[in-house]
Chain A
């Protein structure tokens, strides 16, 4: 596979050890007394990192601090080896940012728009034109580059948003909800594109999302934050292994099934959704046990799903853990 060459600003660190983002005891308290981030320590390595958290978890605040636009109340943060408190300008020149919301003017062509933003990133005029064409080619908008953005579909607009972040060869891409508003096919295409950028182009990518199911498909690492605190940071494998739950959904007889399963020594957690049980996948014969129990009770089974998907459950599981343990006792 083609590999990106060393980038100048990281020459002093070896490829494996370098960290793209390094936050230490990061705290952000707004003047109103709201604590957006509390004692957050995390390290982001090259590759694709998913940043998951519900709305209001502190994702936006973190992104602003990483861009050097907000000065944290306390703590240290380095992006691409640069101190975000003091060298925000240099960081912003080398970080591509794709905002969550619509940010495209309707009445200019994709080329003009991306070229202008390339210039705003510090590219000279000619280079900006070339790099804009390149960026639009990489996101698959080469054919439509002379069309006005207002005529684009949502999927095409998302690609142009990605292109403006990609222009000028950033060392890090911060993508905020890149699949927002896309249909399933569009999501798949966007995720494939991000995966390609993260692997083939050799650009570190941080994808902020509230949909774990999406980004788990492309991420190497996941960082979960909630209430401004680090919930979990790990490589994707360990993260998904930490969620060994089986969702069982029956149309009726939920309580009967719960009793039967608990009787057989399985850990059953209450679930937010009605008529659904979460069974901990500790031992091998869980699937068999559930199948047998449902069959014995003659319950109408509607769903049986290996659960590791939704970020809500990632949090629910953390909170539900004591409850599950209590049930075991």
Chain B
């Protein structure tokens, strides 16, 4: 090694350079925290493990949406109508928040990172505000996705302006459900997650809360609160098999010669599509060859107050009940809460206020040292 070689590289101690660039205010810091939280929810900038659940949920949300697009392109009824999208996909929304909420708030509790936030310009309320907005808007995005895809599919295959107008009107309850369900699920799950630094426990508690309340609510609505009243309807309809003699023309539930149960509603006016048909009897009409006199017996549920109020236990049903009240139309997912619809709406508002207020209270007294 020659000592005369000139060094090819030199280490310079460039020392400390004070930062002289711009500094952002509190509002921009809150926005940065919001963006950071949203990225965390979808696992962006994190490892592949953090992406599994959010992107799985998004994929699941797109399945009925894709089916809907197919159905509308082939001019059939939607696979999963606007009104029931949010309700039927609720399980995945719960899965989404059960993973995302602990990721947002339990991590900072577990690692005691909060003092680092509160020793910075952020105020006490800014942290929960950013977290709540982040989870709400992320879930809203996920829940609006199938609605939007379905809507675009319908518009694309619409043939008239009037049809577009009808589709838009039909989509409105779905948007309402997406908004209210996102608000309720995200706020409640954040409040739960903010009580523990252990993510597994928070996830479990959130899942159990929503699933257990749904189950209890279901029991109250169906088993406890519902009785049935029988109805009988007579009508004259063409027989399918002209040679059938007296007796059971249409075997119950779509016998050999008869239409399926669902078809009864189209034969005998007055029998609803979703009614619980218990029997179809017919005799050949003596006066009208090829026709039969049909007697349909069916049951309609009668909901007691317990059934009507049973939905108030479950946040998802609260959203559904409020939707029924606001739009004055039911998709028969839950008993029509009328006349206590306003109570559902009031509970919805109350839950939102209590959960978000609870979040602000939770972070008001976090110690810094």
**Residues of chain A whose beta carbon lies under 8 Å from any beta carbon of chain B:** 2, 4-5, 7, 60, 63-64, 67, 69, 89-90, 92-93, 95, 97, 99-106, 112, 116-117, 119-125, 127, 131, 134, 138, 164, 168-169, 176, 200-202
Contact = CB atoms under 8 A, between A and B. Distances in A.
Contacts of A121: 23, 29, 120-121
A119 B19 contact: no
Contact of B111 (A2, A104, A117, A134): A104
Given A103-B113, A127-B21, A138-B16, 18 more contacts: A7-B18, A64-B368, A69-B119, A89-B123, A90-B121, A92-B120, A93-B23, A93-B121, A97-B116, A99-B369, A102-B111, A103-B111, A105-B113, A120-B116, A122-B28, A123-B19, A125-B32, A164-B116
A116 B16 CA distance: 21
Nearest to B18: A169
A67 B119 contact: yes
Interface in B81-136: 107-108, 111-113, 115-123
A201 B13 CA distance: 13
Contacts of B23: 93, 121-123, 168
A5 B118 CA distance: 29
Contact of B121 (A7, A105, A122): A122
B161 interface: no
Determine which residue in A93, A95, A106 has the highest number of CB atoms from chain B within 10 A of its CB, and name it.
Answer: A93
B17 A134 contact: yes
B36 to A, nearest CB: 6
Determine which residue in B17, B25, B28, B113 has the highest number of CB atoms from chain A within 10 A of its CB, and name it.
Answer: B113
Q: Per DSSP, are chain B's interface residues mostly helix, strand or loop, or mixed?
A: loop
B111 A106 contact: yes
B22 interface: yes
Contacts of B121: 89-90, 92-93, 120-122
Contacts of A100: 369
A103 B115 contact: yes
B369 A124 contact: no
B24 interface: yes
Contact of B15 (A64, A120, A131, A200): A200
Contact of A200 (B16, B32, B36): B16
A117 B108 CA distance: 13
A176 B369 contact: yes
Contacts of A89: 26, 121, 123
Nearest to A90: B121
B45 interface: yes
A81 to B, nearest CB: 16
Contacts of B24: 122-124
A122 B25 contact: yes
B32 A120 contact: yes
Closest 10 A-B residue pairs measured CB to CB? A169-B19, A97-B119, A201-B16, A105-B111, A60-B369, A122-B23, A122-B24, A119-B32, A93-B121, A169-B18
B33 interface: yes
Determine which residue in B113, B116, B369 has the highest number of CB atoms from chain A within 10 A of its CB, and name it.
Answer: B369
12 contacts: A7-B18, A69-B119, A99-B112, A105-B108, A119-B36, A120-B33, A120-B120, A121-B23, A122-B121, A169-B19, A202-B16, A202-B18
Determine which residue in A99, A102, A120 has the highest number of CB atoms from chain B within 10 A of its CB, and name it.
Answer: A120
A99 B19 contact: no
Given A4-B18, A92-B119, A104 B368 contact: no
A103 B116 contact: yes
Contacts of B16: 2, 4, 138, 200-202
Contacts of B119: 67, 69, 92, 95, 97, 99
B21 A99 contact: no
Interface in B290-345: none
Contact of B29 (A4, A122, A169): A122
Contacts of B108: 105
B369 A168 contact: no
A200 B18 CA distance: 12
Contacts of B369: 60, 63-64, 99-100, 176
A211 B120 CA distance: 27
A145 B200 CA distance: 29
A112 B39 CA distance: 13
A103 B25 CA distance: 24
Nearest to B123: A89
Nearest to A104: B111
A105 B114 CA distance: 11
Nearest to B17: A134
Nearest to B28: A122
B280 to A, nearest CB: 63
Interface in B22-58: 22-26, 28-29, 32-33, 36, 45
A4 B20 CA distance: 12
Determine which residue in A4, A90, A99, A117 has the highest number of CB atoms from chain B within 10 A of its CB, and name it.
Answer: A99
Contacts of B26: 89
A105 B107 contact: yes
A98 B15 CA distance: 22
A314 to B, nearest CB: 22
B116 A5 contact: no
A102 B197 CA distance: 14
Nearest to B127: A120
B20 to A, nearest CB: 8
Determine which residue in A4, A95, A97, A125 has the highest number of CB atoms from chain B within 10 A of its CB, and name it.
Answer: A97
A134 B15 CA distance: 10
A180 B365 CA distance: 25
Given A4-B18, A103-B115, A200-B15, A119 B368 contact: no
